[in-house]
């Protein structure tokens, strides 16, 4: 009996796709990191001697193999795994020429300069599309390529405020709050990734690339989801409810006997089970609380009963009982506790990546898991210019003498 033939290792989904990354900070790098997670060859262009702004956004700093702090910031590490770093000064004609040559052999360009900022370098969409009509060119800006605010710089915090997101975040008794991470940048990076993948599929059918216009402001407003429609349909401006939900009750954080938990009752059957569990059976029969519509209308009357019941036992006791009853609930973890969750450990969410400075670089595993193209192990974010010689030699065919001359002139 012969052994069954084995299939060759599956290539990553975007193997063979080259991405020229002209972006920095977070939204653009998050998009290109996601493409790199899926197997694309991401070439990150950085300014010689300086690099991406976030390289200097520390502490904390990565430690080398001997435990000494380096100049590699945790912030930079968060958004730049699976990339090759090439230093090129795009302010020079020679640097512009090198980038144009790389663009001519790339599938995707991602940039997050101000509108028109790359035109003076001949690196705008129109210029590069003339060299490579198949190029998918993604521009990420604060406000988009047109409109009265198009020329303004956009930053996550500012956009959270302008978009209305902060008006529905935080307690009604305190000032509006931003989200604890730069969530608009992250969502913009993910939306840019979706658009890039769609454009690559369109190119597969037509042979032509296109220009993608993604704006932080557009993304933030679109991501208001039900809150946006609460306004557009209901007419009234949604208000801050702290940890409560505008459309579902009870669905918020509550104090327990020794801490807090999140109770997320999503339907009427779950509410009835909760009432039995919490010895509040009379509430399930109360017409004010029979349906979610009723509970939203009588939120202020219901919540004190639920709050008082939850204080009678500890968080751990409640979570065990609620889980057994099929009622959604969970703890409010610190980030350390989140990484220590059995589920996080089982899924391997924390990474230790071999780093060129010695030792390892911490990272977070990509949430994208494809059964047919799982791909290889992720690589650590690169040192500034780590792959300059490799890319210039392998892709552009520059000799050692030519590379040394460019380096001596400060171009790479």
pLDDT for the residue 123 = 98
Among 120-129, 219-228, 233-242, 306-315, the minimum mean pLDDT is found in: 233-242
Per-residue pLDDT band at 68 (split at 50, 70, 90)? confident
Tens of pLDDT, residue by residue over 146-183, are 999 999 999 999 999 999 999 999 999 989 999 999 99
Tens of pLDDT, residue by residue over 298-328, are 999 999 999 999 999 999 999 999 999 999 9
For 156, other C-beta atoms within 10 Å of its C-beta total 23
DSSP 8-state symbol, 168: G
Active site residues per annotation: 185
Per-residue pLDDT band at 8 (split at 50, 70, 90)? low
pLDDT for the residue 386 = 97
Among 79-88, 191-200, 233-242, 302-311, the minimum mean pLDDT is found in: 233-242
| % of the chain with per-residue pLDDT over 90 | 89
Q: Where does residue 39 fall: left (phi above 0), alpha (psi -120 to 50 degrees), or beta otherwise?
A: left
pTM: 0.92
The mean predicted confidence, pLDDT, of the chain is: 94
- What is the torsion angle, in degrees rounded to the nearest 10, for the CA atoms of residue 354, residue 360, residue 362 and residue 364? 20
Residue tagged 């460019």 (tokens): 406
Which phi and psi (to 5°) does residue 108 adopt?
Answer: -140, 140
pLDDT at 3 over 60: no
């Amino acid at each position: 009996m012969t052994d069954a033939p084995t299939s060759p290792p599956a290539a990553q989904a975007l193997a063979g796709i080259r991405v020229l990354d002209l972006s920095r900070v977070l939204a653009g790098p998050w998009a290109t990191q996601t493409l790199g997670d899926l197997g694309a060859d991401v070439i990150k262009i950085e300014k010689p001697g300086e690099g991406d702004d976030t390289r200097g956004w520390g502490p904390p700093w990565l430690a080398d193999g001997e435990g000494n702090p380096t100049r590699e910031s945790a912030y930079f590490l968060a958004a730049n795994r699976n990339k090759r770093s090439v230093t090129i000064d795009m302010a020079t004609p020679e640097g512009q020429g090198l980038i144009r040559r790389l663009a001519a052999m790339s599938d995707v360009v991602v940039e997050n300069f101000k509108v028109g900022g790359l035109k003076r370098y001949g690196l705008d969409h129109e210029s590069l599309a003339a060299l490579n009509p198949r190029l998918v060119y993604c521009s990420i800006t604060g406000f988009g390529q047109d409109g009265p605010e198009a020329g303004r710089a956009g930053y996550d915090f500012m956009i959270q405020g302008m978009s209305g997101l902060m008006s529905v975040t935080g307690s009604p008794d305190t000032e509006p709050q931003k989200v604890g991470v730069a969530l608009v940048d992250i969502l913009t990076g993910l939306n840019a990734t979706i658009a890039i993948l769609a454009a690559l599929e369109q190119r597969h059918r037509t042979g032509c690339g296109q220009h993608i216009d993604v704006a932080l402001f557009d993304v933030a407003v679109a991501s208001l989801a039900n809150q946006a429609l609460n306004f557009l349909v209901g007419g009234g401006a949604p208000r801050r409810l702290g940890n409560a939900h505008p459309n579902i009750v009870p669905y918020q954080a509550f104090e327990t006997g020794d801490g807090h938990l999140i109770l997320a009752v999503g339907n009427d059957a779950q509410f009835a089970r909760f009432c039995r569990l919490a010895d509040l059976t009379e509430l399930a029969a109360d017409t004010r609380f029979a349906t979610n519509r009723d509970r939203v209308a009588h939120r202020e009357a219901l919540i004190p009963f639920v709050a008082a019941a939850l204080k009678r036992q500890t968080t751990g006791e409640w979570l065990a009982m609620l889980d057994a009853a099929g009622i959604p609930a969970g703890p409010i973890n610190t980030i350390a506790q989140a990484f220590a969750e059995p589920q996080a450990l089982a899924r391997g969410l924390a990474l230790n990546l071999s780093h060129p400075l010695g030792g390892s670089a911490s990272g977070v595993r990509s949430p994208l898991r494809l059964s047919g193209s799982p791909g290889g192990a992720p690589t650590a974010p690169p040192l500034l210019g780590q792959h300059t010689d490799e890319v210039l030699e392998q892709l552009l065919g520059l000799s050692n003498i030519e590379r040394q001359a460019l380096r001596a002139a400060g171009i790479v």
